[in-house]
Amino acid sequence: MRSDGVLLSLSTSIPYAALARLIAVAALLCTAMAAPPEESVGQVLHAAPQDAGPALEAVGSRRLTIEDSLALEVPRFAAARGVSADGEMLAYTLRDGYQPRAKTPTLYYYVPRGEYVFVRPIDSDEALPITQGDEFSWTPTWAPDGSKLAFYAWHDGAICLGVWYRASGRTDFFRLADISGRRALDWTPDGRRVLYFPTSFEGVGPIWPYEDDERVIVRTTWEPDSYEERFIEYSRSQLWGLDIASGQTVPIIGEDTNFYSYSVSPDGRWVAASKLTRWPVLTHLVPSYVTLEIHSVDGGDVRRVLADVIMTTPYSWSPDGASLAYVEEERLWLYDPVTDRSTPLGPESLHVSGSPLWRPNSNTILCPVEEGYVLLDAATGDSKPLVLDLPQRPAQVIWGDEGRVLLVKVVDDRSGQQGIYRIEPDTGATGQLFLGDRMIQQIRLIGQRLFFTLQGAATPENIWVADDSAGERRQLTRFNERFADRSMGVTELIHWTSRAGVPLKGVLLYPAGYQPGRSYPVIFWVYESFSHNLHQFQYHIYNRQVYANHGYAVFLPDVAFTMGETARSFEESVVPAMDRLLELGVANGNFGVTGRSFGGFATNIIVTRTSRFRAAISLAGITNWVSKYRMQGVFWRRGDRIGQGRLGGQLWDVPEAFIKNSPIFHLDKVETPIMIMQGTDDRNVHLSQAEQMYYALRDLEKPASLIVYPGETHLGGDSEPWVLIDIWQRMLAWFDGYLK
């Protein structure tokens, strides 16, 4: 360890010459980045032929550096909260990439240092920052009438709730007890109250299995485990309402709750809330269960609709707020909060497979079903099929023009193109608004104007507006405006078949300045599924354009998993993809592999299954499922068994699965030099996982390097900028030393 305690680096074999060349490059900090050259939406969203392939010419002329990538402005925009009701004002958050998050001793503080809320008219390029300097702000949400904007702020040394008044430009800050600054804000329909989430939990420092003041650590199986309880508490909060006129607060849901979702009724009387129950921490690892309740906005009155059901149960309020439509076991129900009764709707043979969507100003509900969509009459229960005759897969449906039209976002599963169609459900008339090689998100229709964001693998996200009848479309924001001269690679969807015969696809990022006919070293970036991110622009540690600007192609494969055979699944999916890239002539045979978190595990296990990778880098990856069993929280252990780990059972039921899927037991087969990177305060993957792999490889005299960052957690976007720079420099040096 260095004398300043900043970095611990242990190596058995390091390409020192390559590392020295890279570290010797001076860091040029760029404070602003840029957008691509101005182009019309007609150019951006074009109906290109399915087999046209990507435009492979270079974008820009200057090399994208590590510092450039970190200096990007990161926009945060949710159209449902960021466009005023009259469609005239925008509100969004921009994060300065070089501002580290505040390092406060209280775990529950959520202060995104360097984030600022901006407001601007849609017909003006002048944006007003709500806060500046050390006064940060985030999560802007317009009042229902668009006259006020609520947001969180770090103001006068504390987290506050701020309200900006559109007419006067005045800002009020409300210092509230136990406000955490997490979760989205909301308003009651009358615009009098702001709904926010306080929490009574105060966790200090990293969550260890013991407290500093415990002289003797005692845990029993017949009592709640305080270690696991702290993880449950970390997700709990309450729901309160702030009256902005009086400054008084009212508890709507006053007990600590693990919220899954909530929704305020249009009449402002009720709040529907689904709460995590049986497995009270929400993760993507395993199915969880919820209880659906109705709470009075004034507090006190609580009605239970469902108890302990799978968390995918969707629901939505009727336009008048008199009924709540929800789905239980594929059956649609209507709940009346006045009578506290539920009644089934539609024929029993109708299997609803998604969220019910009320038609504005009507009693009609649009429901996705196995065969497509149906329109259900809430008064009679009559159903009518709605045929969406579209050449691409519908991915999102929203009502527009007071219920007279449907806007349907589509995705082409073969090419990855995305687009929007306009459909008149009463006549069946269908028109394509646009289709092209961009990711479309945050769709919202106000009047005749459609708001959405566009981004591409080489194009940072920006906000656009269009006429929903395919009229004029224009770009509203120009985040990262001076980014146009940076060289960028473009992406293409590649298809292949796994060894098990499963059709798969993945994202190929071409090197910046790609020359057709020339082959390149390829870095595999592994996890689970990436094909849906074909057109997503990435920031910071995930910005693979840094690799593309150093002469690498990057490939992000989808993986077909078999329960209990996680290791074999990676091998059967990833290795044939290498052959496919060689067949296409893109790869020159010099393959590297890398990944973070579960992708770090994927990297660790893949190098025990094949020697075809010449270099590997694992960030915060699992090495030993057996020793990971000690990790915090039953939800993590369930995730190992039936969630992301896919081990298929508990340790004593399927010990062979824990062994064959744990890299630690197979490191004698490793021939690939590997660099292992980890933070000391990682609460997802303990540092001991990295240490086990490193010391085992050292004993086996295999080439490996261990890089440890004191005080860092899961090595993600919240890491200090110098840490991200150091990570990127070391990753490039490692791959350069072995692949070039």
DSSP string, 59-105: B-SBPPPHHHHHT-EEEE--HHHHB-TTS-EEEEEEEETTSPPP--S
Q: Which pLDDT does position 451 carry in this prediction?
A: 94
- Do the beta carbons of residue 693 and residue 707 sit within 8 Å? no
Across the beta sheet with 430-436, what order do the strands follow?
Answer: 393-400, 405-411, 418-423, 430-436
Q: Which two tokens stand for residue 281?
A: 């921490």
DSSP letter, residue 360: T
Q: Which two tokens stand for residue 480?
A: 């990262």
Give SS3 for 649: coil
* The pairing of beta strand 473-475 with beta strand 459-467: antiparallel
What's the one-letter identity of residue 675?
M
Across the beta sheet with 289-296, what order do the strands follow?
Answer: 259-264, 270-276, 289-296, 302-310
Q: Which pLDDT does position 202 carry in this prediction?
A: 58
Q: Which pLDDT does position 359 carry in this prediction?
A: 95
Q: Which pLDDT does position 40 carry in this prediction?
A: 31
667, 722, 653: which is closest to 697 by C-alpha? 667
Give SS3 for 21: helix
| Consecutive 10-residue averages of pLDDT for the chain (740 residues) | 37 35 27 32 31 46 88 92 95 78 45 88 93 92 97 92 96 91 92 91 56 76 74 78 95 89 94 82 65 90 89 88 93 94 91 92 92 91 89 91 90 94 89 92 90 94 83 87 88 97 97 95 96 92 94 98 96 98 98 97 98 98 88 66 84 93 97 97 88 97 96 83 92 98
Between CA 309 and CA 360 the distance in angstroms is 29
Between CA 479 and CA 116 the distance in angstroms is 13
E strands, 80-236, in order: 89-96, 115-121, 128-129, 136-142, 148-155, 158-165, 171-174, 186-187, 193-196
Q: Which pLDDT does position 482 carry in this prediction?
A: 79
Residues contacting residue 256 through CB under 8 Å, at least 6 positions apart: 199, 200, 201, 233, 236, 237, 238
Residues contacting residue 380 through CB under 8 Å, at least 6 positions apart: none
Between CA 275 and CA 289 the distance in angstroms is 8
Q: Which residue has the tokens 């593309």?
A: 548
Radius of gyration from C-alpha coordinates of the chain: 26
Distance of CA 372 to CAs 284, 349, 386, 423, Å? 26, 14, 7, 15
